[in-house]
Chain A
Amino acid sequence: MGLLSKKDAKLIIDPLADNNPITIQVLGICSALAITAELKASLVMGIAVLFVLGVGNVVISLMRNIIPSKIRIIVQLIVVASLVIIVDQVLKAYAYELSKTLAVFVGLIITNCIIMGRFEAFALANGPWKSFLDGIGNALGYAVILIIVGFFRELLGSGTLFGIPVLGDPIEKTGLYATGYENNGFMLMPPMALIVVGLLIWVQRSRNKALIED
């Protein structure tokens, strides 16, 4: 991190753990529950949010002195929505396969409360470079949790990772399944994502006592 000052580096590193958007700020939970049934979807969503939040934070930050405070939420919504639509159109024209994978996420990105939260809490009060770092940091923090949750849900729910069977064949009873192990179909349901996120929050707080509120 030689390129970044200590303060700037903190903007990226803090949201990864001690100020994580999902486990500490409890933002963006909805999409974390909805799409983490498989690892690939988690990863794609993480990258999509990384892009939108990084660019969106910069745009909002550049406009921060001219946005009328009365309609700032609407302005933020318009910025996210148009960014997402433009990206979607460009992908459809030049990377059609990828856009097919992303199709479901487009709507989810717009409604992701982390994006609105960072616009409102950070980009409106800070310069473009800092806002960019903050956006990247928060998106990475979000992606990390998504990937961890996706990993456990796909592994325990379907016995696969990135769609590749890793525990053997559940129907032919090979690998781990030969010992009587069964996939836990419940892991594929959204409630289990909530429980996995809950466990992550528990682990994180028990390791870092400073995070525990009275």
Chain B
Amino acid sequence: MSKRTDSNSYTIIFAIVMVFVVGSLLAFTASSLKPAIKENERMETQQNILYAMGVNENEEGSITFISTDKVAEAFATKISEQIVLEVKDGNIIKEMNRQEFMAANNNKEPYLIDIKKQQTRAKNGESRFLPLFKGKQEGQTVYVAPIRGKGLWDAIWGYVALDTDMVVKGTFFDHAGETPGLGANIKQRYFMDDFYGEKLLTEAGVFKGITVAKGNNDPLNKDKDDYEVDALAGATITGDGVAAMIKKDLKLYLPYFQNLKNKN
């Protein structure tokens, strides 16, 4: 190293120039790519909701979303209603349809509601919005609800399709940074499909949820009345996280489904 690069003033100037150059480079990249990234994320949300509802292009063992060029149309036709519930302290204070919600919230689509923000609002004692997407699966009405929680390393989230008795009719789980090969397997077909047909409510109509259970003697998941699905090896915390977010977030919808029952 030459003497010139060892001096303090050179070091400081170099650091300042470097920070400036790298900073503007990153800022430029981020802001020029932002629209494309936002669009991708928007389409992914639609794909995920449709996936949970059973609208996908799955082949054996694979997870294939409906393709991006078809997703907008499918979302418009297969989702008959987007419902938004405003909830406070476990009570529904307002029920809105898509138009009402968009009119009150700067034309924001209900499916773009940020669940994380809503959870923070609820934590602060404010009211929160709960979106619900109504559609049909094999002639039966199903409702897709978003859920969000914590895994081992980072956030996990998903969408659960429920029929009017709160029986699971499809799920989709995703994660931000679970361990590949272990916790990341919540995104595998064999794990998601295990939830199909599981009940959330007891016979008496009390909310029980689904446990991701180790050592359950039902690896094929034939027993649909046990409120359990088989856990993933080496992914205890992620599995518990999935069970916790199902219990916590889907319970919020209980009053809505009870009202639905009483109406009929």
Contacts and interface: CB of A to CB of B under 8 A. Distances in A.
Interface of A: 34-38, 41, 65-71, 74-75, 78, 82, 85-86, 89-90, 92-94, 96, 103-104, 107, 153-154, 158, 163, 171, 185, 188-189
Interface string B233-251: 1100000000000000000
Contacts of A69: 1, 5-6
Given A68-B10, A93-B40, A103-B177, A188 B234 contact: yes
Interface string B1-41: 11001100011001100100010011001100100110010
Contact of A41 (B26, B176, B180): B180
5 contacts: A82-B22, A92-B36, A94-B36, A96-B44, A104-B178
B3 to A, nearest CB: 11
Contacts of B182: 37, 188
Contact of A154 (B61, B181, B220): B181
Contacts of B178: 104
Contacts of B18: 75, 78
Given A37-B179, A38-B180, A188-B181, 5 more contacts: A34-B179, A68-B5, A71-B11, A82-B26, A89-B30
A5 B67 CA distance: 48
B181 A37 contact: yes
B181 A103 contact: no
A71 B262 CA distance: 70
Contacts of A90: 29, 33
A90 B182 CA distance: 28
Contacts of A41: 180-181
A86 B5 contact: no
B52 interface: no
A38 B235 CA distance: 14
Nearest to B174: A100
Contacts of A65: 2, 5
Contacts of A85: 26, 29
Contacts of A70: 6, 11
B220 A171 contact: yes
Nearest to A74: B15
A25 B177 CA distance: 28
A68 B180 contact: no
Contact of B29 (A89, A107, A185): A89
A151 B178 CA distance: 20
Nearest to A35: B180
Nearest to A90: B33
Contacts of B177: 103-104, 107
A37 B180 contact: yes
A41 B187 CA distance: 14
Given A67-B5, A68-B11, A69-B6, A93 B180 contact: no
Contacts of B180: 35, 37-38, 41, 104
A69 B26 CA distance: 24
A71 B18 CA distance: 11
Contacts of B179: 34-35, 37, 104
Contacts of A163: 61
A64 to B, nearest CB: 9
Contact of B184 (A86, A104, A158): A104
Contacts of A189: 234
Contacts of A154: 181
B219 interface: yes
A103 B36 contact: no
Given A171-B219, A171-B220, A92 B5 contact: no
Interface string B61-80: 10000000000000000000
A25 B182 CA distance: 28
B1 A96 contact: no
B15 A71 contact: yes
A74 B22 CA distance: 13
A70 B13 CA distance: 13
Contact of B36 (A68, A93, A153, A188): A93
Interface string B245-264: 00000000000000000000
Nearest to A45: B180
A71 B8 CA distance: 11
